Amino acid sequence: MAQYITKRVVMAIVTIFIILLMLFIMLRFMPGSPFNDEKLNDTQIEQLNEKYGLNKPIQVQFFNYVINVMKGDFGVSYSISKDSDISVMLNTRVKVSFRIGGQAVLLGAIIGLLLGIAAALNHNTFADTLCTVISVLGVSLPSYVFGLALAYFVGFKAGWLPLLYDEKQTFLSSVMPTIALCMFTVATVARFTRSEMLEVLGSEYMLLAESKGIYGPKLIYRHALRNALIPILTVLAPLVVDLMIGSLVIEKIFAIPGIGSLMVTAIQSNDYNVTIAIAFIYSAMYIFLMLIVDILYGIIDPRIRLSNKE
Amino acid sequence: MQDNYILRIKDLSIDFQTTAGIVHAIRGVDIDLERGETMAIVGESGSGKSVTAKAIMGILSNNATVRSGVVEFHMDNETSETVVDLLKMDKKEIRQNINGKQIAMVFQDPMTSLNPLMTIGKQIMEGVLWHYDYTKEAAYNRALELLELVGITDAKKRMKSYPHQLSGGMRQRVVIAIALACNPNLLICDEPTTALDVTIQAKILELIKDIQEKTGISVIYITHDLGVVAKVADKVNVMYAGKIVEKGNIDEIFYEPKHPYTWALLSAMPDLNTNDERLYALPGTPPNLLQEIKGDAFAPRNEYALKIDKRLEPPMFKVSDTHFAATWLLHPKAPKIAMPEALQNKIQRMREGA
Amino acid sequence: MNKAVTLGGEIASTRKLSVEEYLDSITFEEDDFEFDNSEFISRIDADYISRSHWKDALIRFKKNKGAVFSVICILVIILFAVFGPMMSGYTYDQQDINNQNMAPRIPVIENTGFFDGSEKMLSSTGTKLVNKYTKDKIDIFYWFGSDSLGRDIWTRTWIGTRISLFIALIAVFIDMVLGLSYGLISGYFGGRVDMVMQRIVEVVNSIPTLVVVTLLMIILQPGLSSIILSLIITGWIGMSRIARAEMLKLKEEEFVLASRTLGAKSFRIIFKEIFPNIFGQLITQTMFSIPHAIFTEAFLAFIGLGVPQPMASLGSMISDGYKNFTTHPYMIISPLIVMALLMLCFTMFADGLRDALDPKMKEG
């Protein structure tokens, strides 16, 4: 187990490192220098280079860059809000994004699980068909279809919920984006839960448990659900990534002041530093989640926990 | 006690609803099992033997419907004895009163029949804790006792093991321990040794025999392996295409088989002492049970088929008080034919060997 | 527990005919007890002749209504993508400043009151029905309306569909060429080769697609070629995993060993022996990657990295139309519906394929 966790952690660190290297190289080769002001003369540029350490050997620069990122210092914005510190810009936005994203993951996972379980337990009945329909729709329609539909019918036509994000009604205005975002999660989790549950329900150990005389919720929980949940855990991390992609669009549609909409703005206004900072945050979060899932997997599944080799 | 039967199945028919249509998996099965007896149900895969077992356990899948029949079970409580029809009981009643406590089952593949996420100990204790008001400690001791009974050494340590840490043979012992946990009166073993190494097969069979002697439990073996049958059974039911085609005592089936299908099965049994250059293989495949079968289901694969086989189903002709076979060859008007010579020689050798 | 319960009620008395009664009830025919194994050999042969796997799959597929509908729907969309742009008489980049924001108007159907070119406009006095065609006395038809630059949405939608379908084709190509060979090679050679190749997959896979794509777009100019490049970089992983898993499973099979013992070369074994056996799975996976690729394009367009104007793609039209979708919803509806249909149909088609090729998965 210790070996298993160590291996995962090392893998995660290596990946982060590779990403940092990529980002660093990109920054170096980006068209235009950080201070491409024509009024600057050579000595001034040299001073600036001195100030930002740009005259040091490249490996030292990379080392400094890594240190800075670790401290949460991503440099300054070039065009969105000139020369302001990116970490300050991100501070409040990260919270908004994570809150809505978190709500969507949680809601999506719970509804998806329930739907999938209900479908599997009532295989080939109405509940099953409903689950299939919802999951096909959710998997195949991009989140902004739901976002736009909700915005148009609920927000605009009916006016029940704020059409655009409102700082004063943070919860109410997060309802529609959360629903739009979670559809994909609901669908994927439901689809996966259903097939996993069906497989487990048809397994011999379920028959053995039944032939012991176990029935009802205890049978489902103790023998079916626990076994079905392990593989479901593995789809959750990739799902968070899909959610991030969705959040870029959804945040733009509902004008949510989060990092997703900031990233869209940054891309459109060529603000490399901001784009790269957010890209790094997304990657780091993803890798961290994958690590957590892997470790959880190891803890829950005795086949991994108790094995010495992989 | 009016008679000594523990289980009587009468005219059991079961259909399965599949996407391809309705499969008539069981077509009128009669089985009688006496107390303390060991019975084997033999047949090719798809002949309906496992379905019969599952019907007794009340663990048929949802797409199964019982078309007709009765499964009479003589239920022994401490104070009373009642006869119940297992097919009339709902799931909950069966789980509460029958499964584990009265009838238990050992499954084919010990690799897949244990819950991978639960320790061995918990899985054995589960049944006892569920059915009776055992304290945790009492259940623990019971589980230890059972593990020792099924011949697992170092039982205390094994209680904490997970299935993946045990070998196949050990797991099957655990499955047997689980089955025995609540002192059932009937044990159904569905291909208990098929998935195991040959060396371990014999040990498991001996273990079950041993337990049977100790506890007086009745056992039904479901197998396609006549070798297993020879080792353990008192009575044999040969099943083909959802029907019992021949039943009798072990000696009757092995030494005086009457049904061509039984002949074929016996001929196909590998035999070390034979000089024959080739092993007999039963031609063809079992019939498609999606279609209604007219006449004798075995006729198309039967070298000795009669014209009537295509038209009418043969009844269970009586050979002796204990021996019955469903083949028109037993009709007085049928031509007298003897079993194939190779088989006669084989049986001769078996007799000598026995 | 010691209560004497009667469970399940009465025991039904079943009475079957006894052997004697049964024999009495039937009339025997003259030749009943003659041997008849005439069918013996032929029936056995008949038993072995079974329907081929593909024929079987086709029958199962046809039973799946959703999947059949999807195929038809995809074909219809392809048809429109090919011929649609020629039907309206407009080109996708033809602008007409006088005819901006025209609501959909279709000949004949306009008489029913639908698609007659009128739309509800929000004004200070409330909503009112406006028909720009009659107001400005323009006697032309924009079947799906015109956009804010006066371009015909019908033409642009089908031009955009072409792009989406082209991207779907690219996705298939990536899956089949890159993912497949990577997975097959990794699985076939195993050992050290597999180790290295799988570590690479792990690293690539742990970088979110979003990040790779956006970074790529920053370096390259937005456009179709950059979209394709980003699909190439991220799209092969899923397929490579499946191909590898199947390869690992199959290469131990007897028929592969037999072929190897006969001296077949690796290349031959991979493509002649193994490939046909995993073809079904590959097709299914490929179909699943199509909606993903279509979505990627739409997503990139939405964040401003789509095909440059005046070229139209479904993604860029949605992204443009969304800016005024509360006032002129028709601008976004047609590209949105076509894209949604495409993705939905490809998913259902893939689902149907999977169920048809591997019935076990569905029966569960």
- Residue C348's CATH number: 1.10.3720.10
Where on the phi/psi map is residue C304: left (φ > 0), alpha (ψ -120 to 50), or beta? left
pLDDT of residue A53: 64
Q: Residue A283's closest CA among A234, A233, A236, A237? A: A237
Residue with structure tokens 């009745």? Answer: B218
Q: Which residues of B touch C359 (CB under 8 A)?
A: 19
**C-chain residue closest to A20, CA distance:** C207
Residue C350 has pLDDT above 90, yes or no: no
Q: Are C133 and C157 within one domain? A: no
Query: Domain spans of chain B?
Result: 5-233, 259-353
pLDDT of residue B1: 44
The yes/no answer to whether this complex scores an ipTM above 0.95 is no
CA dihedral in degrees (B56, B62, B67, B72; nearest 10)?
Answer: 20
- Neighbouring subunits of C (3+ Cβ pairs under 8 A): A, B
> Please, which residues 311-330 of chain C have a Cβ atom closer than 8 Å to chain A?
318, 322, 325-326, 329
- B70, B78, C74, C101 from C330: Cα distances, Å: 66, 78, 22, 9
Q: Quick check: C351 contacting A, CB < 8 Å?
A: yes
- A97, A143, A182, A185 from A138: Cα distances, Å: 21, 8, 9, 8
Strands B324-325 and B317-318: antiparallel
pLDDT of residue A51: 65
Size of interface A-C (CB pairs under 8 A): 115
3-state SS, residue A235: helix
Tell me how close the Cα of B289 comes to any Cα of chain C, in angstroms.
Answer: 13
Q: Residue B313's closest CA among B325, B326, B332? A: B326
Q: Are C210 and C301 within one domain? A: yes
pLDDT, average across residues A153-180: 81
Q: Are C233 and C117 within one domain? A: no
- Which residue of B62, B95, B109 is in closest CB contact with A204? B109
Q: Are C156 and C132 within one domain? A: no
Number of domains in chain C: 3
- More confident: B30 or A141: B30
CATH no., domain B5-233: 3.40.50.300
Bond before C310 cis per omega within 30 degrees: yes
Residue with structure tokens 């098929």? Answer: B194
pLDDT of residue A309: 41
pLDDT tens digits for A220-229? 888 888 888 8
Q: Are C201 and C263 within one domain? A: yes
3-state SS, residue B114: coil
d(CA C146, CA C140): 11
d(CA B223, CA B231): 12
8 Å CB contact of A123 and C318: no
Q: Residue B221's closest CA among B243, B250, B245, B197? A: B250
Q: Are C66 and C202 within one domain? A: yes
φ and ψ at residue B322, rounded to 5 degrees: -110, -10
Q: What's the alpha-carbon Rg for chain A, to the nearest Å? A: 24
- Neighbouring subunits of B (3+ Cβ pairs under 8 A): A, C
* Residue C96 placed within a domain: no
d(CA C40, CA B284): 9
8 Å CB contact of B82 and C4: yes
Q: What is the pTM of this model?
A: 0.79
Q: Which residues of C touch B318 (CB under 8 A)?
A: 19
Q: Are C122 and C159 within one domain? A: no
Asked if B74 contacts B81 with a C-beta cutoff of 8 angstroms, the reply is yes
Lowest mean pLDDT of A2-16, B280-294, C117-131, C156-170, name the range: C117-131
pLDDT tens digits for C269-317? 777 777 777 777 788 788 888 888 888 888 888 777 778 777 788 888 8
pLDDT of residue C42: 46
| DSSP string across A210-234 | HHHT--HHHIIIIIIIHHHHHHHHH
All domains of chain A, ordered by start, with CATH? Answer: 89-269 (1.10.3720.10)
Looking at residue B340, its amino acid is P
Q: Are C128 and C160 within one domain? A: no
8 Å CB contact of C203 and A123: no
Q: Are C9 and C120 within one domain? A: no
pLDDT of residue B323: 92
pLDDT of residue C52: 65
Cβ partners under 8 Å of residue C347, min gap 6 = A136, A139, A140, C288, C291
Compute how many other C-beta atoms are within 10 angstroms of the C-beta atom of residue A303. Answer: 15
- More confident: A1 or A310: A1
Mean model confidence pLDDT for chain A: 81
Q: Are C336 and C188 within one domain? A: yes
pLDDT, average across residues A281-302: 84
Q: Range of C231's domain?
A: 53-90+152-361
Most confident of A27-41, A142-156, C272-286: A142-156
d(CA C232, CA C202): 17
Residue C36 has pLDDT above 50, yes or no: yes
B218, containing H or E segment = strand B218-223
Cβ partners under 8 Å of residue A263, min gap 6 = A248, A274, A275, A278, A279, C214, C303
Mean model confidence pLDDT for chain C: 76
Tell me how close the Cα of C262 comes to any Cα of chain A, in angstroms.
Answer: 35
β-bridge mates for residue C126, sequence order? C123
8 Å CB contact of B311 and C22: no
Q: What tokens were used for C48?
A: 């072995």
3-state SS, residue B140: helix
B244, containing H or E segment = strand B243-249
